[in-house]
Structure 1
């Protein structure tokens, strides 16, 4: 059967062939896309050239080859340096390099002044998930709605797509917000394993209990969102702040008994105590979010 879809026919350029860039390249090649690649270290492009990619000698040559240009480089500075001597007029630039929301907004302005449409992306996947159906990997996109709609099918080849708004900073913001929550979870997991570390409790036996507990606690995220939206931090609360702060002393005392540092817990527990001292004992701990705002 002849394949003649727009997605298969759309050519694109990829700048950057690290682990993620190479995974993206192979996904697009496997889907039949004519692909031009460039990498600062040219040797990394050789295997992709053997797999059917066109290897450009310079970034300028790569950008000139196609309307759709995807950057997957180290950071914001690398993107600007790579694109400094290229002609972006009429190009659709998709930045999949890690950045902050502010950097993404500034890069969007910079690209638009040079004649390009711009979309920023935040990749919620690791390289082995790219191009694998059902892996669960996806990419946040934000910026030019027209660019995203034009290239939606192409962008969906390596991983799922989630467009989160016209503000170019929103993809990076969603990315970092989720990663920040993950980091907090990792901190809690580390503390939990530290508590049992010196006991005759096999970590492999404890792991499914911990996993099940974290999964069971996950729905509180939706309660927090509902309370933030309504401004009512009391309705729906089962364990209020006064109860939680009273129980926190047991968490600290247990850590001390086990010879475990409390530095992963105390910043959050201190914020809870501050919120309680301000007279919010009947609330959930949602109000802690307000204390974080500067």
Structure 2
């Protein structure tokens, strides 16, 4: 191997799995000047990358042996095991750095890290916060957790994909934070879909409403409210700085109007019920942030 820290352009990198994301990662590595070996169960998916300069491996073991850094980007953790059990793959892993960007749980990440370490390799778990189309662009970032020495040594390689964010030595931190970010995203999507239903129920233009009103409003709320709520989540002090919970649940305007307009309250309803419950429990003077104690009571642990 010819790698030396700080000389990322001479790094041998292997990519196992060439779906849309794996292909985007391999293409970004090639564009950054790395020597890339690729493997996919359906071999023809490597054709375009081979034309760009990648080397095709016929087996997972061959791909692993060719790389100092081995990127695994397949369907799920259950599919990673058979790759590592491929004839010769376990032996080939010794001395490598495995970067697994497959979606999964913290427990799966820790279990895989233990298995990879037992085979003599360093392990990093990764959570890709991007779609394939924006890999290599400034707005993309990837979360990493696991072997810090490996992350520091190969950060320049990882930066070919996106901004690299290291969270700590626990391999489970990347998938946990990945899922936390996605949960925030889906909550936003849920709010948007309910808002779109209300606007459309009155014959409004959803695109114009979103562009001119909703996006600026959400940006303002995200900037002004979320940091304060986050501090409350850490401190446990949910004192209201504006409208308290009791005032917010004093009447169900959103629900009443939604039902009158023929818009389901299935997206908004669960949060509304939690807000009412928190007030009923005697916390009406708090901010909406206090609902967190119903979702995850302080000191509740995992």
Provide TM-score, normalisation by structure 1: 0.94
How far apart are the structure 1 equivalents of 2:254 and 2:67? 58
How far apart are the structure 2 equivalents of 1:256 and 1:23? 44
How far apart are the structure 1 equivalents of 2:128 and 2:160? 13
After TM superposition, give the deviation of residue 13 of structure 1 in Å.
0.7
Which of the numbers 239, 248, 270 marks the counterpart of 1:244? 248
Deviations 1:62-121 (A, max 9, x none): 111122111011111111121212122222100011111111111111111221110000
How far apart are the structure 2 equivalents of 1:37 and 1:77? 20
Q: Which moved more, 1:80-89 or 1:44-53?
A: 80-89
* Residue in 2 that maps onto 1:19: 20
How far apart are the structure 1 equivalents of 2:103 and 2:140? 16
* Residue in 2 that maps onto 1:213: 217
After TM superposition, give the deviation of residue 213 of structure 1 in Å.
1.2
2:34 counterpart SS class: coil
* Residue in 2 that maps onto 1:103: 108
How far apart are the structure 1 equivalents of 2:189 and 2:237? 29
Deviations 1:226-260 (A, max 9, x none): 112222110x521111111114x111110111011
Which of the numbers 272, 275, 280 marks the counterpart of 2:275? 272
* Residue in 1 that maps onto 2:207: 204
Gaps of 5+ in 1: none
- How many residues are aligned here? 287
How far apart are the structure 2 equivalents of 1:232 and 1:47? 55
Deviations 1:240-284 (A, max 9, x none): 11111114x111110111011111111111111111111001111
Q: How does 1:189-200 map onto structure 2 within 5 Å?
A: 189-200=192-203
After TM superposition, give the deviation of residue 130 of structure 1 in Å.
1.0
* Residue in 1 that maps onto 2:54: 53
After TM superposition, give the deviation of residue 198 of structure 1 in Å.
2.8
How far apart are the structure 2 equivalents of 1:198 and 1:274? 29
1:246 counterpart SS class: coil
1:218 counterpart SS class: helix
How far apart are the structure 1 equivalents of 2:151 and 2:75? 23
1:119 equivalent in alignment to 2:124: yes
